[in-house]
Amino acid sequence: MTLETLTFAKALNAGLRQAMADDPRVLMMGEDIGRLGGVFRITEGLLAEFGEQRVLDTPLAESGIVGTAIGLAMNGFRPVVEIQFDGFVFPAFDQITTQLAKLTNRHEGALSLPVVIRIPYGGHIGAIEHHQESPEAYFTHTPGLRVVSPSTPNDAYWMIQDAIRSNDPVIFMEPKSRYWPKGEVDRSERPAPLHASRIVRRGTDVTLVGHGAMVTTLLQAAALAEAEGTSCEVVDLRSLSPVDYGPIIDSVSATGRMVYAQEAPQFTSLGSEIAATVAERAFYSLEAPVLRVSGFDVPFPPAKLEGAFLPDADRVLEAVDRALAY
C-alpha cells in the first residue's frame, strides 16, 4: 500500500487523468476547463497532456454542453462535463432530466449514455447567489440518473474513475468546501464500490448520517459528543441514488437513534426520503424519531449569513441531545 497526501481537488485531478489515460474515449467538456484548468483548477494540466481534441473549452451554454455530451455518448465516447457552479446547472436541467435520464429507457436498454456531469456544490466559501446551492434532490428524484458525492480525497480519486466507467449517466456532486483540505490517497486499492455507503466512525448511542462536506461536520460533532460521554456512529452516504441502506439500517438497529444532516433545505429533500425509509425499515429498533438537521427553507443567503444557514457541529449536537431525551 502506497499512500500519498493530496487535496480533494488534486485527488480529483489525478482520478480524471487516470481515467483519460486508461480509455481514449474519455474526454472533458466545460467552461474554462482547458487553458485555465477550471475555476477550481480540477482539470489543470489535462489540456497540455491530452490535447484540444479531448479537453474542450466550451461556450457559456450549459444546455448546449450537456446536449453535445449526449450526442457524443450516443456515438461511443465517454464525456465528462463540468458545470462551473451548482446554480449554473439549471439551464441544462431539461437536457439532463428529459433526455439524458430517459434515453436508455426509451431505447429499451439498447442505448447506453456514459455521461458524467461534475457539479461543485454546497456552501462554506462565501460566494454570491447561484454559487452556493445544494441541488442534489432534483437529480435523486429523477429516475435514470445515478448521483454520488465523495467526502474525502481518497473517495474523490476512486469514485470519479468509477463514475466514468459506468454505462449509466452519473451526476457527480463535488462538495466545493472540501476542495482544499488534504487527506491520504491510496492508488493501489479501491476503498468501496461506487454505490456503497460506509461507516467512517464507530459508536453505540446515536447514528449520524450525511454526505459530502457534511460528513466532516458529523465527525466533528461525534468527537465533541464523545467528550461529553455520548458515542456516535457516523455513516458516509457516498451514493445519493441509489442509496445503500444496509450499513445505515444495521447501525440504527444497534443504536436505536438517528440524525441526518445536510446543507440543502429540509422540505422534500434527500434527508426526508432517507428518514422516511429508515422509519419504515427499522421501526421496531428506533427509540426516538429520526431527526433531520439541514439548511433552512429559504434561498441561500448572502455570505455574511451563511454561518447561520449551514448546519454546524453545534446544531448536530442539539439534535443528538433531543434524540437521547426520548
Which residues are identified as catalytic?
131
Amino acid identity of residue 174, one-letter, is E
Give CA torsion, residues 58, 60, 62, 66, to 10 deg. Answer: -10
Distance from C-alpha of 85 to C-alpha of 31, rounded to nearest angstrom: 10
All 3 cell numbers of residue 282?
427499522
Distance from the Cα of residue 168 to its chain's centroid: 16
Written as one letter, the residue type at 1 is M
Q: Are 203 and 233 in contact (CB under 8 A)?
A: yes
Q: How many CB atoms lie within 10 A of CB 297?
A: 11
The H or E element containing residue 306 is helix 306-309
Would you call 68 exposed, middle or buried from its count of C-beta atoms within 10 A (0-12, 13-18, 19+)?
middle
3-state secondary structure (DSSP) of residue 60:
coil
Cis ω before 91 (30° cut-off from 0):
no
- Three-state secondary-structure class, residue 233: strand
State the Cα–Cα distance between residues 199 and 77, nearest whole angstrom: 35
- 280-296 core/surface letters (b: 16 or more CB in 10 A; e: else): eebeebbeeebbbbbbe
268, three cell numbers:
422534500
